[in-house]
Amino acid sequence: MEKLFPFIEYRGRKLFVEDVDVQAIAKRIGTPVYVYSKAAFSYWFNEFDSAFNDVEHLTAFAVKSCSNIAILRLLAEMGAGADTVSAGEIFRAINAGIAPEKIVFAGVGKRKDEMEYALSHGILMFNVESRQELETLNKVAEKLRKRARIAIRVNPDVDPKTHPYISTGLRTSKFGIDYDEAFDVYMKAKEMEWVEPIGIHFHIGSQILDVSPFEEASAKVADLVKALRDKGLDIEYFDAGGGLGINYHPEENPPSSSSLAERIVPFVKELDCKLILEPGRRISGNSGFLLTEVLYIKRKEGKIFYIVDAAMNDCMRPSLYDAYHHIVPAEKKENIEIVDVVGPVCETGDILAKERELGKCEQGDILAVLSAGAYGFSMSSNYNSRVRPAEILVSGSKFEVIRERETFGSLIEGEKIV
Ligand SMILES: *Cc1c(COP(=O)(O)O)cnc(C)c1O
């Protein structure tokens, strides 16, 4: 037995997820296919959530990382709330059975109709990202005669030391309200009739592997909470966002959730706030992977390409961020060769892995693109008119389809020849 990630391991020469041979999934469902493990979700949710047991808290799963309603239902049953960034995500969360009072709503560009949707469903709070948004929300809430509970998303100006495309807590980023301005915006909110400031929010970035920026941000934001309370504002919720990183290679060790908790919890205890956390990747990333078939092998002078049936439209992170995904064969191979794993899409950037040591494959072999549970299917598109993959949930020795593979019909749904 060789363990790659919790519940994902080789038994003999064969790759298993829980008690299922992944080749059985490829055979029955076809490829490409996203595979999630119920036990892994449970493991990662508990690893995270239990780290914060010292304080009253809500783990609001970041829906954008993995949005399937079967997954959201699983997490709801474990006690999760939802961190959402659109009305569509609120719709998913509610559909999956997540209680509205466990839903928070962030995003720099909320439309009025999205505000109305969220208000009418009675979500916990809006994480407001600009002065104009605050004013608009006040008007929308007045129209509906429903007070909007809010937190201001504060940009604490700390460097999370991650990929620039996924850092969000620096002054130069489009997210949140500058730290120095936030106090003033809270004072405005206090005067407004239809918004009720109940919390404070920050989210400094994604795939963060050094937990010290969380302490820096928490300290700054905690100071702000004290200043606001001095002015009579009842800040009840301290929302520390998401962003804790994972290992994309089985042999790396990411920080534990407890080490994150150590950086945040002391501030929350001192303030006697309720803590909200918004992990996405940390829970879903290593709870899923993508299976793909090797369609063709091209061996050229000094270069080998494995052309597989999954592409950048199915799994975008390598093309978008030059991200690393560990790739392993469904059945172990004798020899190693150095290959590029590429998809069929007509773009040079359609690469899943570059110059990677991989067991020597043959046409028809199945590969697993690991750590694809987060920002995998949820970022997929129909580019090149490719139908999006099926999604499968494994539990023990069983697996079920939680999203059918799209059909040609779904490709042209809503289109009209005029
Ligand atoms: C994307 C996002 C998250 C989740 O980020 P992860 O890195 O997946 O944990 C949490 N909160 C907000 C506001 C986000 O935009």
Q: What is the pLDDT of residues 288-319, one digit of tens each?
A: 999 999 999 999 999 999 999 999 999 999 99
> Looking at residue 74, what is its pLDDT?
98
Banded model confidence at residue 275, pLDDT cuts 50, 70, 90: very high
> Looking at residue 195, what is its pLDDT?
98
- The three state secondary structure string of the chain is CEEEECCEEEECCEEEECCEEHHHHHHHHCCCEEEEEHHHHHHHHHHHHHHHCCCCEEEEEEHHHCCCHHHHHHHHHCCCEEEECCHHHHHHHHHCCCCHHHEEECCCCCCHHHHHHHHHCCCCEEEECCHHHHHHHHHHHHHHCCCEEEEEEEECCCCCCCCHHHECCCCCCCCCEEHHHHHHHHHHHHHCCCEEEEEEECCCECCECCCHHHHHHHHHHHHHHHHHHHCCCCCCEEECCCCECCCCCCCCCCCCHHHHHHHHHHHHHHHCCEEEECCCHHHHHHHEEEEEEEEEEEEECCEEEEEECCCCCCCCHHHHHCCCCCEEECECCCCEEEEEEECCCCCCCCEEEEEEEEECCCCCCEEEECCCCCCCHHHCCCHHHCCCCEEEEEECCEEEEEECCCCHHHHHCCCCCC
Domain with CATH 3.20.20.10 in the chain: 38-282
Choose one of 45, 49, 64, 174 to mutate for the ligand 1 pocket test, by most ligand atoms within 8 angstroms of C-beta: 64
Annotated binding site: 243, 278-281, 317, 321, 347, 375
Task: For residue range 203-262, list pLDDT tens digits in order.
Answer: 999 999 999 999 999 999 999 999 999 999 999 999 999 999 999 999 999 999 999 999
Q: How far is the CA of 244 from the centre of ligand 1 (A)?
A: 9
Domain with CATH 2.40.37.10 in the chain: 2-37+285-402
State yes or no: pLDDT of 132 exceeds 70: yes
> Looking at residue 159, what is its pLDDT?
84
Ligand 1 atom closest to Cα of 279? 9
Annotated binding site for substrate: 281, 317, 321, 347, 375
For ligand 1, residues with CB inside 6 Å are: 62, 64-65, 83, 85, 106, 203, 206, 241-243, 278-282, 374
Annotated binding site for pyridoxal 5'-phosphate: 243, 278-281, 375
| Residue 315 annotated to the active site | no
Q: How far is the CA of 203 from the centre of ligand 1 (A)?
A: 7
Of 38-42, 131-135, 158-162, 267-271, the one with minimum mean pLDDT is: 158-162
Share of the chain above pLDDT 90, in %: 94
Homologous superfamily of 38-282 in CATH?
Alanine racemase (3.20.20.10)
Task: For residue range 161-171, list pLDDT tens digits in order.
Answer: 777 666 676 77
> Looking at residue 165, what is its pLDDT?
65
Stretch 42-64: mean pLDDT, rounded?
98
Of 56-60, 175-179, 274-278, 339-343, the one with minimum mean pLDDT is: 175-179
Banded model confidence at residue 160, pLDDT cuts 50, 70, 90: confident
CATH second-level architecture of 2-37+285-402?
Beta Barrel (2.40)
> Looking at residue 348, what is its pLDDT?
87
pTM: predicted TM-score of the whole model, two decimal places? 0.97
> Looking at residue 169, what is its pLDDT?
67
> Looking at residue 90, what is its pLDDT?
98
Banded model confidence at residue 172, pLDDT cuts 50, 70, 90: confident
Stretch 353-377: mean pLDDT, rounded?
97
